[in-house]
Amino acid sequence: MSIEHAIEAERCRRDAHYFIFDSGKLKTKDEQDHEHPIKSVPDYLYLRMFLDCLLAGSKLIKPEQARFALQNGIAREFLDYFRVRRVVRGKKPRSVHYQPGLLFHPLARQIRELPVDPGAIEKRR
């Protein structure tokens, strides 16, 4: 393993936002696009905010580290509640268990009101 590969792997391990949105290593399949179905994960602000909420809720980051969520209107108290209640729990590596009422009720209402603008993320960085 080269030093560049080791550095890239460590950066992906430490920063979920980098791994999912910036590294280009994680792909998604667009079933509607038959010519180019494999694409990078779209870099939308609401996806970064949702990821922050999931990371804070699973205690992988502290609520004050949820920069995209905090800068864009998710209340600190909500992230604290998410963290204390352990809304997202992983029992096995491939299974994520959550309490749907707690996960989607307050969060979805706040995120649905945000504009979906792919260029908005660039303005926030």
Model confidence, pTM = 0.66
Residue 75 has a pLDDT of: 86
How far is residue 2 from each of residues 6, 10, 11, 19, 67, measured CA to CA in Å? 6, 12, 14, 19, 32
Encoded tokens for 46: 């609401």
Contact between 70 and 76 under an 8 Å Cβ cutoff? The reply is yes
CA 12 – CA 60 distance, rounded (Å)? 14
By residue range, what is the domain housing residue 71?
45-124
Contact between 85 and 10 under an 8 Å Cβ cutoff? The reply is no
Query: Which has the higher per-residue pLDDT, 117 or 12?
Result: 12
- What pairing do the DSSP bridges indicate for beta strands 88-92 and 38-40? unpaired
Answer yes or no: is pLDDT of 123 > 80.
Answer: no
Residue 88 has a pLDDT of: 60
What are the pLDDT digits (tens) for 65-119? 999 999 998 888 888 887 777 666 555 444 444 444 444 444 555 555 544 444 5
Are residues 70 and 30 part of one domain? no
Are residues 33 and 87 part of one domain? no
What are the pLDDT digits (tens) for 21-47? 999 888 988 888 899 999 989 999 999
Are residues 92 and 36 part of one domain? no
